[in-house]
């Protein structure tokens, strides 16, 4: 059970990296609510405009070739690192199941 559970943990780690890379587009200008925006309506409008600006920037950034290439590179790098860590862990885990060199027990001299 430990092998499959840890393999699932590595897969979840890869999912976290995937989400991180997908969301790593440059952030739009963030608007903060000032004292002038005392009413809820103004704050809601500012938040809606800010979200629309972020979405617009993301949509235009995703079609940009340089950003797309950077994301592909990051996906490959994170995926390779997670796979290598998992593979090293799997080799060490399985090596403990059937060791190549068995320990020799010494008899107690009393």
Q: For 62-109, how does the pLDDT look when each residue is reduced to its tens digit (9 = 90+)?
A: 555 667 778 888 889 999 999 999 999 999 998 888 877 877 888 877
Cα–Cα distance for residue pair 23/53, rounded to 1 Å: 15
Q: What is the pLDDT of residue 22?
A: 80
Nearest to 89, CA basis, from 28, 15, 13, 22: 13
Interhelix angle 65-95/40-62, nearest 10 degrees: 80
Residues 78, 14 contacting (CB under 8 angstroms)? yes
Residues 96, 39 contacting (CB under 8 angstroms)? no
Domain chopping of the chain, boundaries: 16-92
Q: Which residue has the higher pLDDT, 4 or 61?
A: 4
Classify residue 70 as exposed, middle or buried by CB count within 10 Å of its CB (0-12, 13-18, 19+): middle
What φ, ψ does residue 32 adopt, rounded to 5°?
A: -110, 150
């Amino acid at each position: 059970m430990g092998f499959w559970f840890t393999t699932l943990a590595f897969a979840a780690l890869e999912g976290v990296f995937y989400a991180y890379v997908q969301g790593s587009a440059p952030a739009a200008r963030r608007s903060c609510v000032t004292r002038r925006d005392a009413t809820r309506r103004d704050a809601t409008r500012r938040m809606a405009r800010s979200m629309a600006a972020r979405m617009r920037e993301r949509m235009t950034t995703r079609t940009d070739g340089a950003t797309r290439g950077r994301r592909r590179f990051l996906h490959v790098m994170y995926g390779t690192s997670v796979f290598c860590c998992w593979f090293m862990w799997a080799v060490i885990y399985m090596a403990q199941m059937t060791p190549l060199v068995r320990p020799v027990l010494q008899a107690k001299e009393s």
